[in-house]
Amino acid sequence: MGNRIVEVTTTAFEGQKPGTSGLRKKVTVFQQPHYLENFVQSVFDVLVDRGEGGPGKVLVVGGDGRFFNREAIQIILRLAAANGYAKAFVGRDGILSTPAASCVIRGRKADGGLILSASHNPGGPRGDFGIKYNIAAGGPAPEALTNAFHARSETIARYRTLEGAPVVDLGRDGLSALGGMTVEVIDPVADYASLMDSLFDMEGIRSLFRDGFTMSFDAMHAVTGPYAREILERRLGAAPGTVVNGVPLEDFGGGHPDPNLTYAKDLADLMMSDSAPDFGAASDGDGDRNMILGRGIFVNPSDSLAVLAANADLIPGYRGRMTGVARSMPTSRAVDRVAAKRGWECHETPTGWKFFGTLLDAGRATLCGEESFGTGSDHVREKDGLWAVLAWLNVIAARAQTVERILFDHWANYGRTYYSRHDHEGVDAGKAAALIDHLRSLDLVGMDFAGAAVVLNDDFSYVDPVDGSTASGQGIRIEREDGARLVVRLSGTGTEGATLRLYLERYEPDPAMHGQDAQEALADLIRAARDLLSLKERFGSETPTVIT
């Protein structure tokens, strides 16, 4: 009460352009006066014009708990109230994992949500911050919308906020008023945990743990700690201590909360050791990514998607209702083989979860995934780390087999797609762009590439089969007659320099050849790729900074 709506004069900031997954910048950039306000007002202006935001509408707000999360939420709430929003749901302490935010938007029939996260990028005062808008269906705003936000941010001259508004108490569940808007602080875990209960054979998983099945879940001091403790330890009866690094910290304990073999090394080492539990998993900063490991074995995310699709009938929430699958272009084609056998639709989309939305909405994809440790389904409109972990637990319980057995059986049925991604982080942005331009100018069709002829060489472009929208320049593809493939693209999520990503894959039908190390199985392709791209000459080194 007594809060006054004020219009603050501002000037546009350059570069408020959302990338693969929202606007990501250094915390220090976001801390500049008016920076966050400008972007949020730009989002609201576009939404108001489209009748999707502002007066009478309902907004969900939450983030991964990284440094600046709480301050950002207070700023957003004041802008939302001043722009006429009727109600805002906020996760307690400002926390909502990305999949939980999607779940809350859908479950509570909100008009959209603002999620504060820079995913797996390091946090803390000198780390990264990020913000993205999700639409009423629960998924990331499609490109037409993010482009409109950016365009608006370039001409913005004022934003609307509340003067003299109190700081909202985010620590306690319940209702309060902020200007004309109602703020409801909610338990960040409850809605999400009930959705998981409704999808999986929780009793089957409970009896697995009762029978002594052991697991280690590394929450990497990021957002999934409270979710994993509630679901794995409390609801499913996993032993206390199953969840490690379970307390979310503003700087993620100084770590890099990306669940892969490099950044979740402790877990990977444990799983390869004599004291490995039966199952290992990790999730990232905002809870949408997952890494799956068995005792002595790493499950490649592309294989993980294929295995879950092949076993979907064992999961109550998916039994008998699989219509299709979708994967991002650079993801291996292991899942395509499952779809072909089952007669499902199979879609190849550009990198980024936002491209799955229309397919999920239209019921043309039930499961989808990306090689970048992203797996999910139509239960929300984001990839979902804990969902993938629960799906694996459900399959393990139903098949009564080890992760290793499940994987080798899968390969025996469908063949194995050897796959690896090589990242070159922090390379010179100009040189990286020049490399992509160079690759675009080549036509390798008919030429030899590491021992077989190239049959396809293009820069991937996509026409959405549901709404007809298009995306071009999505990555260079070099595909051989035997199906082996090299994909090259630049990251759209980094905040410093450029990251060059090379994706390599080769199909191996012979079960006698399924036990190789992926790097060895791909060695010829890797050599050929480095030579074709002249990595050493261009960047001074051809050794990747991260290999998955």
Q: Which is nearer to ligand G1P, 53 or 352 (CB)?
A: 352
Contacts of 291 (CB under 8 A, 6+ apart): 259, 260, 261, 264, 267, 280, 281, 282, 283, 298, 301, 373
DSSP 3-state assignment of 217?
A: strand
- In 378-432, where do the E strands start and end? 416-427
Instruction: Please report whether residue 328 would count as binding ligand G1P according to CB under 6 A.
Output: yes
In whole angstroms, what is the distance from residue 446 CA to residue 47 CA?
49
CB of 507 to ligand G1P, least distance (A): 21
302 is catalytic: no
| Length of the chain, in residues | 548
Instruction: Please report whether residue 336 would count as binding Zn ion according to CB under 5 A.
Output: no
Q: Under a CB-based contact definition with an 8 Å cutoff, are residues 73 and 90 in contact? A: yes
- Choosing from 366, 493, 506, 539, the residue that interacts with ligand G1P (CB under 6 A) is 493
- Residue 213: name the closest of 238, 193, 234 by CA: 238
Amino acid type, 296: G
- Choosing from 16, 42, 83, 119, the residue that interacts with ligand G1P (CB under 6 A) is 119
Which does residue 350 touch among ligand G1P, Zn ion, none (CB within 5 to 8 A, set by kind)? none
- Residue 380: name the closest of 146, 61, 190, 137 by CA: 137
Instruction: Please report whether residue 464 would count as binding Zn ion according to CB under 5 A.
Output: no
Tell me which stretch binds Zn ion (CB under 5 A): 53-61, 141-149, 288-296, 311-319: 288-296
Which does residue 491 touch among ligand G1P, Zn ion, none (CB within 5 to 8 A, set by kind)? ligand G1P
Instruction: Please report whether residue 134 would count as binding ligand G1P according to CB under 6 A.
Output: no
CB of 374 to ligand G1P, least distance (A): 6
Question: ∠ at Cα 299 (188, 246), nearest 5°?
Answer: 30
Amino acid type, 407: L
Backbone angles phi, psi at 53, to 5 degrees: -145, 175
Which does residue 284 touch among ligand G1P, Zn ion, none (CB within 5 to 8 A, set by kind)? Zn ion
Size of the site for ligand G1P (CB under 6 A): 14
In whole angstroms, what is the distance from residue 169 CA to residue 463 CA?
45
Rounded to a whole number of angstroms, the CA Rg of the chain reads: 23
Task: Tell the burial category of 74 from Cβ atoms under 10 Å away from its Cβ (0-12, 13-18, 19+).
Answer: middle
In whole angstroms, what is the distance from residue 130 CA to residue 44 CA?
17
Q: Which is nearer to ligand G1P, 41 or 117 (CB)?
A: 117
Instruction: Please report whether residue 491 would count as binding ligand G1P according to CB under 6 A.
Output: yes
Which does residue 45 touch among ligand G1P, Zn ion, none (CB within 5 to 8 A, set by kind)? none
- Choosing from 286, 336, 382, 423, the residue that interacts with Zn ion (CB under 5 A) is 286
Q: Which is nearer to ligand G1P, 311 or 493 (CB)?
A: 493
CB of 436 to Zn ion, least distance (A): 25
Which does residue 21 touch among Zn ion, ligand G1P, none (CB within 5 to 8 A, set by kind)? ligand G1P
- Choosing from 191, 218, 258, 288, the residue that interacts with Zn ion (CB under 5 A) is 288
Instruction: Please report whether residue 83 would count as binding ligand G1P according to CB under 6 A.
Output: no
Tell me which stretch binds Zn ion (CB under 5 A): 136-144, 273-281, 282-290, 491-499: 282-290
Instruction: Please report whether residue 119 would count as binding Zn ion according to CB under 5 A.
Output: yes
- Residue 27: name the closest of 90, 117, 107, 110 by CA: 117
Q: Which is nearer to ligand G1P, 75 or 389 (CB)?
A: 389
- Choosing from 3, 16, 20, 304, the residue that interacts with ligand G1P (CB under 6 A) is 20
In whole angstroms, what is the distance from residue 206 CA to residue 390 CA?
11
In whole angstroms, what is the distance from residue 227 CA to residue 73 CA?
21
Tell me which stretch binds Zn ion (CB under 5 A): 114-122, 345-353, 393-401, 411-419: 114-122
Instruction: Please report whether residue 304 would count as binding ligand G1P according to CB under 6 A.
Output: no
243-244 vs 215-218, strand pairing mode: parallel
In whole angstroms, what is the distance from residue 527 CA to residue 204 CA?
46
- In 48-86, where do the E strands start and end? 58-63
Binding mask 240-269 toward ligand G1P (x if CB under 6 A, else -) reads ------------------------------
Instruction: Please report whether residue 16 would count as binding ligand G1P according to CB under 6 A.
Output: no
Which does residue 286 touch among Zn ion, ligand G1P, none (CB within 5 to 8 A, set by kind)? Zn ion
- Residue 508: name the closest of 525, 528, 484 by CA: 484
Q: Which is nearer to ligand G1P, 53 or 285 (CB)?
A: 285
Per the listing, tokens 């379970």 go with: 246
Q: Which of 21, 102, 117, 119 is catalytic?
A: 119
In whole angstroms, what is the distance from residue 72 CA to residue 131 CA?
9
Tell me which stretch binds ligand G1P (CB under 6 A): 51-59, 64-72, 367-375, 400-408: 367-375
CB of 288 to Zn ion, least distance (A): 4
Tokens found for residue 151: 């365009």
Q: Which is nearer to Zn ion, 24 or 289 (CB)?
A: 289
- CA 269, 254, 285, 189 torsion: positive or negative? positive
Instruction: Please report whether residue 216 would count as binding ligand G1P according to CB under 6 A.
Output: no
Contact footprint for ligand G1P (CB under 6 A): 20-21, 119, 328, 351-353, 370, 372, 374, 491-493, 501
Annotated catalytic residues are: 119
Contact footprint for Zn ion (CB under 5 A): 119, 284, 286, 288-289
